[in-house]
Amino acid sequence: MEIKPIVELKNLSKTIGKKKIIDQLDLSLYPGQITGFLGPNGAGKTTTIRMMAGLMKPTTGDVIIDGLSLRSNFELGISKMGAIVENPELYKFMSGYKNLVHFARMHHNVTKKRIDEVIRQVGMEKRIHEKVSTYSLGMRQRLGLAQALLNNPKFLILDEPTNGLDPAGIREFRTYLRKIAEEDGVSVLVSSHLLSEIELMCDRIAVIQNGKLVAIREVNAIEESQYYIEVQPVDKARSLLSDKGIIVENYQDGLLINVEQSAIPTIVEQLVKQNIAIYAVSHHRKTLEEQFLEMTGGGQVVESNSK
């Protein structure tokens, strides 16, 4: 059975002055899935997020949320979305609970029962009636997540949601986010410059460069035909393998080779016969950082908020 996307970007473009910032972007986001949104400096990531959040109108194209076009049905469409942009705006002199009651008034039909539900979802039951000024940054982020969930959104945008959190806070936030995505079927888009965290948090990544979508990849997709061999001398081993038509690249203290697993014993035997020392052979999966640098030609992931 085909799963329908919660969010669709269709031919989304944005021109400011004579410069095309976003160029015919198409992207689908699915229920229960967390998608990392990455782009080097100036790629147009923030502009795209602003259009998805209804903060900026596209020049052409459309954003569809749960079947509702933001162009033709803005209020109802945007009501299906929640968002956290960096540190959430909270009233520190009020309790966490009173903050939620205040924000609930901005939506239609958010009941006390729903407020209690989101408090449980983010694990805030014990501290919810204390003033926000007494909360740690991690707790404020959890309260911000509760605030974003009040209207029971189908789609959640998180822009740098773990900014400033310590490792324990990041892990805790990741746990709650995964729970919300899986249990409620929410589609989540996470923008972050922390590639290692995106790798742990997300199911897949979408990479934008020069206003165009350049790649969509599953985070846990494994390149099964690539292996790492730690050898000495490296140059001699590289020359030998290249002569046999094997795709080879230098990596750390050895080589990455593109072969099937069944070819490994023969390769090891050939290297040993040439007096090449082998210290390790392992299956290799490129880190998200390595993949990102390949996809963007080395562009930095951090983007200015002015773009």
Q: What is the pLDDT of residue 93?
A: 93
CATH: 3.40.50.300, 3.10.129.10, 3.40.50.720, 2.40.50.140. Which one for 7-80+153-218? 3.40.50.300
Question: What are the sequence ranges of the domains in the chain?
Answer: 7-80+153-218, 226-284
Q: What CA–CA distance (Å, rounded) separates 175 from 123? A: 11
Q: What is the pLDDT of residue 300?
A: 54
Q: Which residues are CB-neighbours of 207 under 8 A, at least 6 positions away?
A: 38, 39, 213, 214, 215, 216, 217, 292, 295, 296
Q: What is the pLDDT of residue 304?
A: 38
Q: What is the pLDDT of residue 305?
A: 41
How many C-beta atoms surround the C-beta of residue 108 within 10 A?
A: 9
Q: What is the pLDDT of residue 292?
A: 63
* Tens-place pLDDT, residues 19-35: 889 999 999 999 999 99
Q: Which residues are CB-neighbours of 108 under 8 A, at least 6 positions away?
A: 79
Q: What CA–CA distance (Å, rounded) separates 85 from 83? A: 6
Burial of 226 (0-12, 13-18, 19+ CB in 10 A): middle
Q: What CA–CA distance (Å, rounded) separates 298 from 41? A: 11
* Tens-place pLDDT, residues 174-194: 888 888 898 889 999 998 777
End-to-end CA distance of the chain: 39
Burial of 112 (0-12, 13-18, 19+ CB in 10 A): exposed
Q: What CA–CA distance (Å, rounded) separates 297 from 40? A: 10
For the chain, residues with pLDDT lower than 50 are: 222-223, 302-307
Q: What is the DSSP string of the chain?
A: -PPPPSEEEEEEEEEETTEEEEEEEEEEE-TT-EEEEE--TTSSHHHHHHHHTTSS--SEEEEEETTEETTTSHHHHHTTEEEEESSPP--TTSBHHHHHHHHHTTSSS--HHHHHHHHHHTT-TTTTTSBGGGS-HHHHHHHHHHHHHTT--SEEEEESTTTT--HHHHHHHHHHHHHHHHHH--EEEEE-S-HHHHHHH-SEEEEEETTEEEEEEETT---TTEEEEEEESHHHHHHHHHHTT-EEEEETTEEEEE--GGGHHHHHHHHHHTT-EEEEEEE----HHHHHHHHHTT--S---TT-
Q: What is the pLDDT of residue 296?
A: 59
* Tens-place pLDDT, residues 255-285: 888 888 888 899 999 999 999 999 988 877 6
Q: What is the pLDDT of residue 199?
A: 79
Tokens (6 digits) for 237: 């081993």
Query: Buried b / exposed e across 269-290, counting CB within 10 Å, b at 16+?
Result: eebeeeebeeeebeebeeebee
Q: What is the pLDDT of residue 288?
A: 65
Q: What CA–CA distance (Å, rounded) separates 17 from 45? A: 18
